Structure 1
């Protein structure tokens, strides 16, 4: 486990998590308003 590899993994994972969270929020809003 190199310390140089961990930040890259976090950097790649964080955007995916935020995008997923945003998508879920949008879907929930559509279901509530719809």
Structure 2
């Protein structure tokens, strides 16, 4: 994965009421499985 992209998406998610953050967290869980 790309850490830079993840950090960018996290920043965007914070601006969008955390909705993108939730999606990012789910993707991290799936990727770690």
* TM-score, normalising length: structure 1: 0.46
Greater Rg, structure 1 or structure 2?
1
* TM-score, normalising length: structure 2: 0.48
Higher relative contact order (CA closer than 8 Å, sequence separation 6+):
2
